[in-house]
Amino acid sequence: MQAIHRIRSRTVVLPAADVDTDQIIPARFLTTTIRDGLGRALFADWRFDSNGHPRPDFVLNRPETAGCEILVAGRNFGCGSSREHAPWALHDFGIRAVISTSIADIFFNNSLKNGLLPVLVDEGTHSWLLANPGADVEIDLEAATVTLPDGRRAGFPIDAFARHCLLHGVDELGYLLSQHAAIAAHEEVRSR
């Protein structure tokens, strides 16, 4: 996993609330056994019409959103299924952070494990971001802040351990495996 320190990008705004993982990546794209290349399936039914042609009015198809790494989303983003294909698809498409007032639990966790930063901000900051698509925003993971173009700054909560892993580009499995002795001891006690 790539280390993340700072993400600086224009934003792309998808204001709808309760965007579920079936929209982020429809189930028919899940019959894959690998994790790469899912960006093409991102928001497939919103990006493309039934003939596979891009819908010009969908925000991710607009030329001005090309290359944006920060997605500003409505509340309860990523609800529904546990498919990790959702953060894989977003990441593969080039998105590095999702900002909202609330993000569904499983999606939130899956994102952290894949170098996609879930950022929860207060209502005020969120409203401003929703109203100003394309704003140049900086996310500083070390300081856990989002900086708006006028210099205003908002903090966001991030688990200390998850931050450590993201900053150093390490995954959690190494840490879990290092707990081998404690796990074995637990198994020993429980089997008695």
Cβ atoms 137, 147 nearer than 8 A: yes
Binder of another protein out of 58, 62, 106, 148 (CB under 8 A) = 106
Q: Does 102 engage in binding with another protein (CB under 8 A)?
A: yes
Cβ atoms 30, 90 nearer than 8 A: no
Pairing of strands 117-120, 97-100: parallel
Which structure tokens are listed for 11? Answer: 């934003």
DSSP helix/strand/coil, 73: strand
- Per-residue mark of binding to another protein, 148-187 (x: CB under 8 A): -----------xxx--x------xxx-xxx-xx-xx--xx
The count of C-alpha atoms lying within 13 angstroms of the C-alpha of 149, restricted to the half-sphere facing its C-beta, is 10
Binder of another protein out of 84, 91, 97, 126 (CB under 8 A) = 84
Q: Residue numbers of the site for another protein (CB under 8 A)?
A: 16-18, 20, 22-23, 26-28, 30-35, 45, 50, 74-76, 79-84, 87, 102, 104-106, 109-110, 113-114, 159-161, 164, 171-173, 175-177, 179-180, 182-183, 186-187, 190
